[in-house]
């Protein structure tokens, strides 16, 4: 079990609980099967596909937050393209760039589909003995990817604390996460 806390100036406050039992893991969907996303993208732009996260986010690294050295910039990871102006497709005379592709993903993919898409940018295999936890917050939900060197990735959805529910429901956490 893991506890997720939130800190805004004062003491850390309870945010959510993650139960890491294998039977509670969610299925990681194939982001290429987020049908509504692809249908809407095609209708709006004529694009039938986007570059994979491993292409758009090449060299992606993540930061970590250390309560012993609380710096508000620590642990806040914002996705960015190393080559935002690179053109990946031309449709009907219009050029689409890596930055626009990331914008489509940011604006339209949600929850487990968004997390699955981002996870494509991380290495599939870890060094023997290595375990990495990556946390995601999307629309009031806290998720954890537990990436184990032998077992692979498992996706968990946190159970929010009673104190966190009103803030998460109001979407006010977005202002604090920026």
pLDDT at 15: 81
DSSP codes of every residue in 63-102: ----TTS--TTTT------SSTT-EEEEETTEEEEHHHHH
Among candidate residues 156, 161, 159, the one with its CA nearest the CA of residue 146: 156
pLDDT at 177 over 50: no
pLDDT at 37: 93
34: its two tokens? 């987020």
pLDDT at 167 over 80: no
Q: Give the whole-number percent of the chain exceeding pLDDT 90.
A: 44
pLDDT in tens, 109-153: 988 999 999 999 888 889 999 998 888 888 778 899 999 999 999
56: its two tokens? 């758009």
Give CA–CA dist 142/91, Å, rounded: 37
Q: CA separation (Å) from 114 to 12, 34, 120, 123, 138? A: 28, 9, 10, 17, 9
Q: 36-59 burial, b if ≥16 CB within 10 A, otherwise e?
A: ebbeebeeebebeebbebebbbee
Q: Give the whole-number percent of the chain exceeding pLDDT 70.
A: 80
**Structure confidence at residue 42 as a pLDDT band (50, 70, 90):** very high
pLDDT in tens, 83-96: 999 999 999 999 99
pLDDT at 164 over 90: no
| Residue 32: alpha-carbon gap to chain centroid | 16
Bigger pLDDT: 7 or 75? Answer: 7
Which of 5-14, 65-74, 93-102 comes out lowest in average pLDDT? 65-74
């Amino acid at each position: 079990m893991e506890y997720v806390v939130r800190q805004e100036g004062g003491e850390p406050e309870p945010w959510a609980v993650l139960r890491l039992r294998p039977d509670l893991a969610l299925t990681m969907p194939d982001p290429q099967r987020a049908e509504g996303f692809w249908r809407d993208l095609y209708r709006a732009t004529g694009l039938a596909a986007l570059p994979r996260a491993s292409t758009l986010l090449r060299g992606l690294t993540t930061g970590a937050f250390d309560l012993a050295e609380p710096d508000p910039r620590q642990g806040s990871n914002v996705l960015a393209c190393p080559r935002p102006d690179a053109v990946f497709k031309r449709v009907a005379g219009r050029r689409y760039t890596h930055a626009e592709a990331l914008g489509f993903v940011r604006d339209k993919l949600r929850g487990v589909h968004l997390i699955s898409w981002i996870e494509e940018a991380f290495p599939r295999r870890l060094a023997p003995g290595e375990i990495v936890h990556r946390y995601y917050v999307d629309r009031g939900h806290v998720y954890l990817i537990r990436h184990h060197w032998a077992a692979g990735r498992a996706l968990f959805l946190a159970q929010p604390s009673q104190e966190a529910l009103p803030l998460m429901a109001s979407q006010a956490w977005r202002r604090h996460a920026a």
